[in-house]
Amino acid sequence: MSSGGRDLNKFSGKVCVEPTENGRISSNEASHFLREHDLSTEGSPQLAELIDLETQRRRIDHRQAVLIAEVAANGVCDILHGHTSPMWLAHRLQQPPQLCRSQVMTATRMARRYPALEAALGVQRIGWQHVKVFDSAANDRNWQDMADLLPQLIDLAQVATFERWAREVRGIGQRLDQDGGYDPATDPANNQLRVVSTTDGVTHLSGQLVGELALSIKAIIDDETNRVLSRFRADAEATNGATQVPSRAQAGAEALCEMLERSCGVRDGQGRLPEPEIIVVMKLDEGNDAPPELTDGEGNHLSPEILRFIIAAGVIRPMQVSTSGDPLRMGRTLRYANRHQRRALMIRDGGCVFPGCDRPASWCDAHHVDEWDHDGPTDIDNMAELCRHHHRVTHRPGWVMSRDPYFTDEVRFRWRTSSGQLISSQRHQQRRRHPAA
């Protein structure tokens, strides 16, 4: 039994090895299991090396988690570099920002809530994947009860397969939540939707729905998907099979798009119509007769076939630019960037220009590098996209943002921090460093 009085058997009746009277798995049974499954005794140096590498990896994972938790707690990344801990990690290690955010949150919670879990990782009784599973099963409502069961769960990890252990932990977390009176179907915070564009040009739609919202949306999409399939089946019959009937998944995607397009024809409460925009960037290579390169606002390639559909949808908005490619210098006539300038900034910067930041253009302010109050013009080459966090960083005492004099053929910026360090700006989809000299 653990100190909190929770009994693992109450939540999990199917374990690989029966616990002893005190709730723990006996050392003899665990040692026997490990001897039976110790690959290093099978006479292969490669297998022995694999076991040794995994042991070293667990030591490294433990030390990395400890360091990440310390860095997140003391705020050194923000103080020295103007970054949150996850974004500093993503920038310096060239890792996906979402992965780094998850790693920082897990390491921070482990250090604050689960010292037994951290200790088990430190002596290689579990791996980082065990930590992630446990952390995802625990939440603000059940974490204390989950922490009470940790000694037994760590023992169970020695004898159960990882998949079985993960199922047990998730099941225990759900039961503890329900024991506390929590019903996930009634929590609106569980309704989530994410639309993420990746570097391969594929947009991923993911999320979860609960309660009446789940029932309504599923019924609407199912009904519309059936209509789309019926239309395709009618076309196939009329063309004697020349038109193919798509899968239900493909029909569902088309149904969702059709419903969203129809909604754009309905005015909102203020009498306005939604105006979805698609930015198409045409890159011309002077002196070359090759067809121009077409990309969207995030730098993803667009084929001529896709462009024809976009033109047919009528959502292209032309943008006039000067011969140097900088649209609409407004000088001192406007205090804030207008819509055309914001579109131009989105194409040029692609999002926050602070190096390593992944905030998209829609989350950014149009910042005057030479401040408006000090006669700075509202011109493209005097503005940069900054997310709200890095906008505040730029205005910290001792921090100065200016045009980067090294780049004479394009608009780039740099910061001088309060400690004298120089930081060069980025353009999204590019990773270009300022030379050390």
Tell me which of 107 and 397 has the higher pLDDT. Answer: 107
Mean pLDDT lowest for which of 222-226, 227-231, 302-306, 382-386?
A: 302-306
Confidence of residue 429 (pLDDT cuts 50, 70, 90): low
Torsion of CA 218, 224, 230, 231, to 10 degrees: -150
* 302 or 116: which leads in pLDDT: 116
> What's the chain look like in SS3?
CCCCCCCHHHHCCCCCCCCCCCCCCCHHHHHHHHHHCCHHHHCCHHHHHHHHHHHHHHHHHHHHHHHHHHHHHHCHHHHHHCCCHHHHHHHHHCCCHHHHHHHHHHHHHHHHHCHHHHHHHHCCCCCHHHHHHHHHHCCCCCHHHHHHCHHHHHHHHCCCCHHHHHHHHHHHHHHHHHHCCCCHHHCHHHCEEEEEECCCCCEEEEEECCHHHHHHHHHHHHHHHHHHHHHHHHHHHHCCCCCCCCCHHHHHHHHHHHHHHHHCCCCCCCCCCCCCCCCEEEECCCCCCCCCEEEECCCCECCHHHHHHHHHHCCCCCCCCCCCCCCCCCCCCCCCCCHHHHHHHHHHHCCCCCCCCCCCHHHEEEEECCCHHHCCCCCHHHEEEEEHHHHHHHCCCCCEEEECCCCCCCCCEEEECCCCCEEECCCCCCCCCCCCC
How many CB atoms neighbour CB 130 within 10 A?
21
pLDDT digits over 320-329, tens only?
A: 444 444 444 4
Whole-number pLDDT of residue 292: 66
Q: Cα dihedral sign for 207, 96, 420, 413?
A: negative
Tokens at 261, concatenated: 């397009």
Averaged over 21-31, what is the pLDDT?
Answer: 46
Of 153-157, 274-278, 333-337, the range with the highest mean pLDDT is: 153-157
User: Using CA atoms in the order 283, 289, 290, 294, what is the torsion angle rounded to 10 degrees?
Assistant: 20
pLDDT score, position 77: 92
pLDDT at 343 over 50: yes
**How many angstroms from the chain centroid is the CA of residue 394?**
24
Contacts with 358 (C-beta within 8 Å, 6 or more apart), sequence order: 87, 90, 97, 351, 352
**In the structure, what pLDDT confidence band is assigned to residue 183 with cuts at 50, 70 and 90?**
confident
Q: What per-residue confidence (pLDDT) applies to 381?
A: 79
Token pair 């019926």 is at which residue? 230
Model pLDDT, residue 328: 47
Model pLDDT, residue 311: 58
- The token duo for 20 is 């002893």
pLDDT, tens digit, 9 for 90 and up, residues 63-91? 999 999 999 999 999 988 988 999 999 98
Does 284 score more than 60 pLDDT? no
* Least confident stretch, 63-77, 235-249, 330-344: 330-344
Q: Give the per-residue pLDDT at 241.
A: 80
Tell whether the model's pLDDT for residue 154 goes beyond 90: yes
Query: Nearest Cα to 221, choosing from 186, 254, 267?
Result: 254
Per-residue model confidence (pLDDT) at position 277: 63
pLDDT at residue number 291 = 66
